Amino acid sequence: MEPLRSLILAAADNDVIRRVVATAPGSRQIVARFVAGDTVADALRVVQTLAADGRHATLDYLGEYTSDPELAERTVGTYLRLLDELAARKLAEHAEVSVKLSALTVNGDEVLASRNLGRICEAAADCGTTVTVDMEDHTTTDMTLRVVEKARRNRPWVGAVVQSYLRRTESDVAALAYEGSRVRLCKGAYAEPAAVAFVDDHEVDLSYVRCANALLEGGAYAMFATHDPRLVNVLRQRTRWYGRQRGSYEYQMLYGIRPDEQRRLAAEGETVRVYVPFGEQWYGYLMRRLAERPANLALFLRALVSRS
């Protein structure tokens, strides 16, 4: 399965394949399974649907690695408008936002990324919700953690993300595992070299559990991002072992993946947050979702050749 995953991730950076996928007659059918839609209104409709059965959302306006100052500013503006609408519709208690720093800045400018993140955090505070800063490929990890640390000086609730497939992550978690620190723990979905990332799935899982233990022991508000039923069972045992009450941690899953499990956990009283992407720049996101579960590839290919 690993060669197929590598092939899919390589396709995520291929402009020719991107154009073919974007113009194929059945592409929107499969995109709609994983992406809420193109607009803020589409994202808000999904939040309302999730809230109706006790689930929460974190909203991601798709886009990354920006080199255009106008596009970066439009991205910030979209987040500000989204937050205003969450407040106006009284949905802020059900949703926060997730942001990628590379979409908020130009060519990796850390000062601009920090300034634009601050604008989004101020708007989130005004409407009564929070912000989580997504982690991207390993070359951005140090910058991302620095920007998060700076943002937390004024907004200690700003969420950080760590990826268990990176060899460095246990060390990063040790610095983040303190009382009240909001940390999303995921496996990771970028193509990374073996020098910096575990290649074997079992090693990634073992790292995930070690990081989860550290977050729970340290008192962090852990956000467990996984669809793996084995890991969910382990996490439920570990939360009990550390005496953590429901509401002092949460489970996170992606929009369109295992919705029945999401509803089941929420019905049992667990906090469940769904990662809801929206926007027109869906291609890279979709490829990473297919790479995480290559079994979805057959469904995707059937949709691409469909004429309906």
Kindly list the catalytic residues: 134, 184
Length of the chain: 308
For residue 258, give the amino acid letter: R
CB-CB contact of 304 with 24 (8 Å): yes
Please, is 19 exposed, middle or buried when counting C-beta atoms within 10 Å of its C-beta (0-12, 13-18, 19+)?
exposed
Beta bridge partners of 48: none
Q: Identify the DSSP state of 300.
A: H
| Backbone φ and ψ of 276, nearest 5° | -110, 105
Q: Identify the DSSP state of 90.
A: T
Q: Identify the DSSP state of 244.
A: P
Beta bridge partners of 161: 184
At how many degrees (to 10) do helices 110-127 and 69-88 cross? 10
Q: What's the rounded Cα separation, in Å, for the pair 195 and 31?
A: 33
Measured CA angle at 297 (ends 294, 301), to 5 deg: 170
Nearest alpha carbon to residue 104 among 139, 129, 140, 138: 140
Nearest alpha carbon to residue 287 among 262, 270, 304: 304
CB-CB contact of 238 with 216 (8 Å): yes
Q: What element of type H or E holds 184?
A: strand 182-186
The two beta strands, 160-163 and 182-186, are parallel
